Amino acid sequence: MKAPGTASDLAALSADLLRQIADRQIRVHCLTNSVAEPITANALLAIGAVPSLTAESEELPDFLRGADALLINLGTPTAEKVAVRRLAATIAGKAGMPWVLDPVMVDRADRRRREAESLMAERPTAIRCNEAEAATLAGGLKGLTGALVCTGALDRVRQGTRVATLEVGHPMLARITATGCALSAILAAFLAVHPKDRMAASLAALAAFGAAGAEAADGADGPGSLAVRLLDRLSTLTEDRIAARIGRYELRAEDSA
């Protein structure tokens, strides 16, 4: 599969996948931290997806049978959550379900690093993290077959020998808790409707979320109003508006030797 070659191509793909998510009412099961649950669920609803969030081991298999994608976020860990997350990754892997690993703050806690490395062996479809988290997991990332989605002032997506750099979004998003977690869930929804090219789906998700964030920041008085405006903008995105917010987009192939 060929990733979008231009910013215009990327905006078109992003808008098309958003339509597919809403038309199909994509179901994303989210095992995420307690702080992130409200904004994660609301962000998915805003793009027309359907969230579920149970972390009970007895009912988890039933919810996953009806899901199209899975998010596993390593925040607020407990022994029970660790076990449930491993169970969910195993079920998703056997079912061929796209799933996203969000190894939040693995650079700050060795327990999280160990869990992330264990879950990476279950072959996530994508890992969504920041630069510090990626550096902590560098050894395990060498065998990653999915997409590595590294977000920051410049977003970087890598799969195999393909590497893309994307500038989109707004710095104020970092002042709202759990926006990264919400992005990871939206990424899972995009992967559900475009599973044949994980890199393209990842870039499209970043473009959509970043464009909504940039639009939301334009009229926000601060982080509080930005959080509300972000959900509003996610619910009304268009191809033209996504294209207008992409500041930089580069795609290249690296030497595999």
Task: Show the domain range for 114.
Answer: 7-253
Task: Examine residue 1 and state whether it is found in any structural domain, yes or no.
Answer: no
Q: What is the DSSP letter of 154?
A: S
pLDDT for residue 257: 46
- The pLDDT tens digits for 204-250 are 999 999 999 999 999 899 999 999 999 999 999 999 999 999 999 99
Q: 150 has which bridge partners? A: 129, 156
Residue 143 pLDDT: 85
Determine how many CB atoms are found less than 10 A away from the CB of residue 23: 10
- Spans of the chain, pLDDT less than 50: 257
> Tell me, what DSSP letter sits at residue 155?
E
Q: Is residue 145 part of a domain?
A: yes
H or E stretch covering 102: strand 99-102
Within a domain: 195: yes
| pTM for the predicted model, two decimal places | 0.97
The tally of domains found in the chain comes to 1
Strands 69-73 and 50-52: unpaired
Residue 117 domain-assigned (yes or no) = yes
Q: Is residue 210 part of a domain?
A: yes
CATH number for position 26: 3.40.1190.20
Is residue 2 domain-resident? Answer: no
